[in-house]
């Protein structure tokens, strides 16, 4: 069934798994057990495309697949004409309570379908090109006409009226950016774009071009985000798919910073519920302790009331509530993922892989690795898949290699060569049950 996958995508998947990373494309070809979660995110995406906004908290313990799910959803959103950005929240580099820093990362990481990161300039330039096309097609002017620059500038002014009502500093910078680009002052245009992106190191001379001072502050972020969403709509995009990953890192902060971080989340959720950010699909990921622990969401009651889930154990999970839960990875899911990787591995002799790496071998490898690491299946998927691709590589390259006879799982070697610090730390912790 999966043999129809093109070789470039299959190679990209196996290259990423071989390196121990999440593939940037083709995730849908080996996603297992996520259909319910993906369906509710697809429903939300359709709602956002119709001129609304939405949010969802993705809840799961370490190894449950939060990064995989958000990457898969981001790939689908990109294919559906959304711009995509992912920001990893950290206690030091990008703390949540410094919303302007989160905004800066969002702008830096903004991606189009065919471009990873650095796409804010593409967005602005596409918006300007569309306005120029309108002057040509609707107003009947030609680029060589004497009044063409003035007509485009007027069109820019008119189209920024709504942006200026909420984010005046963004609007004046966009006007100045257009002027600098038209006059071929590309360095000035770049500097203005840097300031709009939240760069704190833009010089006074550049800021003077738009008559702005200071930097983008926390209180600018929601109005600026609304402005960018309006530009996205005017440029033909469906919206913005924004992931704030690892929000549980706020638990490491001192109480004042934790409460400020939770207040930032409350403000974002309020803005979405009031539809102040049409076109935004916001996804936030966190561990169970973030949602239920005393230092987490319960510490800010207004936020807790907005995003808590209801129901009891006898009921099936309601995925349309503010949180969706990812169950801890189990043995069966890991086995199925390995089967799919074997199916899409780009080999000239796929039948050889199925003969030399049969289901019985995969099953034994899953059992050996999970037993070797204390039964903690949720900790080993990245390590397992990296080792599994290594075995497939050996079979594909060496006719005389037979893993059924030659392969021996060596815990110490695998741990020393493949395990990262986060996985080592997770092994030291007790497994945390995922509770609703």
Q: Say which residue, 119 or 225, is predicted with more confidence.
A: 225
Confidence of residue 431 (pLDDT cuts 50, 70, 90): very low
- Give dist(CA 219, CA 108) in Å, integer: 19
Confidence of residue 115 (pLDDT cuts 50, 70, 90): low
Query: What pLDDT is attached to residue 434?
Result: 31
Residue with tokens 């680009």: 181
- Give dist(CA 411, CA 413) in Å, integer: 6
Sign, CA dihedral 126-128-133-134, equals positive
Lowest mean pLDDT among 59-63, 219-223, 285-289, 430-434: 430-434
* Mean pLDDT value of segment 342-364: 92
Lowest mean pLDDT among 38-47, 220-229, 377-386: 377-386
Query: What pLDDT is attached to residue 285?
Result: 96
What does the buried/exposed string (b/e) look like for 335-346 if buried means 16 or more CB atoms within 10 Å of the residue's CB?
A: bebbbbbbbbbb
Per the CB < 8 A criterion, the answer to whether 414 and 382 are in contact is no
* 20 has a pLDDT exceeding 70: yes
* 378 has a pLDDT exceeding 80: no
Highest mean pLDDT among 110-114, 130-134, 174-178: 174-178
One CATH from 3.40.50, 1.25.40, 1.10.287, 1.10.3470 for 35-117+238-325? 3.40.50
Per the CB < 8 A criterion, the answer to whether 37 and 317 are in contact is no
* 113 has a pLDDT exceeding 80: no
What does the buried/exposed string (b/e) look like for 156-195 if buried means 16 or more CB atoms within 10 Å of the residue's CB?
A: beebbeebbebbebbbbbbbbbbbbbeeebeebbebbbbb
233-277: per-residue pLDDT in tens? Answer: 999 999 999 999 999 999 999 999 999 999 999 999 999 999 999
* Mean pLDDT value of segment 124-139: 91
Share of residues in the chain with pLDDT > 70 (%): 94
Summary mean pLDDT of the chain: 90
CA distances from 267 to 221, 271, 279 (A): 11, 6, 17
Query: What pLDDT is attached to residue 116?
Result: 66
Confidence of residue 278 (pLDDT cuts 50, 70, 90): very high
Confidence of residue 418 (pLDDT cuts 50, 70, 90): confident
Residues pairing with 242 in the sheet: 85, 282
287-329: per-residue pLDDT in tens? Answer: 999 999 999 999 999 999 999 988 767 778 888 999 998 877 7
* Mean pLDDT value of segment 103-121: 85
Query: What pLDDT is attached to residue 421?
Result: 76
- Give dist(CA 122, CA 88) in Å, integer: 23
Both tokens assigned to 151: 């007509």
Per the CB < 8 A criterion, the answer to whether 190 and 173 are in contact is no
- Give dist(CA 36, CA 319) in Å, integer: 7
Q: Say which residue, 331 or 190, is predicted with more confidence.
A: 190
Query: What pLDDT is attached to residue 432?
Result: 37
Q: Which helix (H) or strand (E) holds 282?
A: strand 280-286
Query: What pLDDT is attached to residue 414?
Result: 80
Query: In the chain, where are the structural domains located?
Result: 35-117+238-325, 121-217, 331-428
Query: What pLDDT is attached to residue 51?
Result: 95
* Mean pLDDT value of segment 163-188: 95
Query: What pLDDT is attached to residue 1?
Result: 39
70-92: per-residue pLDDT in tens? Answer: 999 999 999 999 999 999 999 99
Per the CB < 8 A criterion, the answer to whether 284 and 67 are in contact is no
Confidence of residue 2 (pLDDT cuts 50, 70, 90): very low
């Amino acid at each position: 069934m999966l043999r129809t996958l093109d070789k470039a995508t299959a190679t990209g998947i196996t290259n990423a798994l071989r390196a121990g990373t999440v593939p940037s494309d083709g995730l849908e070809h080996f996603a297992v057990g996520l259909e319910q979660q993906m369906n509710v995110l697809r429903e939300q995406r359709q709602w956002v495309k119709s001129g609304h906004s939405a949010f969802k908290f993705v809840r799961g313990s370490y190894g449950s697949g939060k990064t995989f799910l958000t990457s898969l959803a981001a790939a689908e959103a990109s294919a559906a004409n959304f711009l995509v950005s992912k920001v990893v929240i950290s206690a030091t580099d990008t703390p949540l309570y410094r919303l302007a820093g989160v905004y800066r990362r969002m702008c830096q990481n903004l991606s189009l379908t065919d471009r990873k990161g650095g796409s804010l300039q593409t967005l602005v330039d596409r918006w300007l090109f569309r306005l120029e096309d309108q002057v040509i097609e609707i107003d009947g002017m030609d680029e060589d006409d004497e009044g063409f620059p003035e007509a485009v500038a007027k069109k820019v002014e008119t189209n920024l009226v709504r942006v200026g009502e909420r984010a005046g500093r963004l609007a004046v910078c966009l006007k100045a950016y257009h002027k600098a680009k038209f006059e071929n002052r590309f360095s000035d245009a770049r500097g203005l774009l840097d300031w709009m992106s939240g760069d704190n190191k833009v010089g006074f001379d550049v800021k003077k071009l738009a008559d702005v001072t200071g930097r983008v502050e926390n209180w600018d972020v929601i109005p600026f985000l609304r402005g960018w969403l309006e530009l996205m709509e005017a440029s033909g995009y469906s919206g913005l798919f924004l992931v704030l990953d690892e929000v549980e890192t706020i638990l490491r902060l001192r109480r004042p910073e934790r409460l400020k971080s939770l207040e930032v989340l409350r403000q974002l959720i309020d803005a979405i519920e009031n539809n102040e950010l049409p076109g935004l699909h916001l996804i936030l990921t966190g561990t169970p302790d973030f949602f239920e622990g005393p230092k987490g969401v319960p510490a800010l009651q207004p936020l807790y009331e907005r995003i808590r889930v209801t129901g009891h154990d006898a009921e099936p999970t309601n995925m349309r509530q503010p949180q969706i839960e990812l169950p801890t990875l189990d043995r069966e899911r890991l086995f199925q993922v390995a089967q799919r990787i074997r199916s899409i591995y780009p080999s000239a002799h796929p039948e050889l892989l199925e003969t030399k790496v049969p289901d019985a071998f995969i099953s034994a490898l899953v059992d050996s690795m999970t037993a070797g690491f204390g039964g903690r299946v949720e900790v080993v998927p990245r390590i397992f898949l990296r080792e599994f691709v290594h075995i497939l590589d050996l079979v594909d390259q060496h006719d005389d290699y037979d893993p059924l006879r030659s392969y021996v799982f060596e815990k110490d070697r695998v741990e020393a060569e493949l395990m990262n610090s986060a996985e080592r730390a997770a092994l030291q912790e007790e497994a945390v049950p995922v509770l609703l």
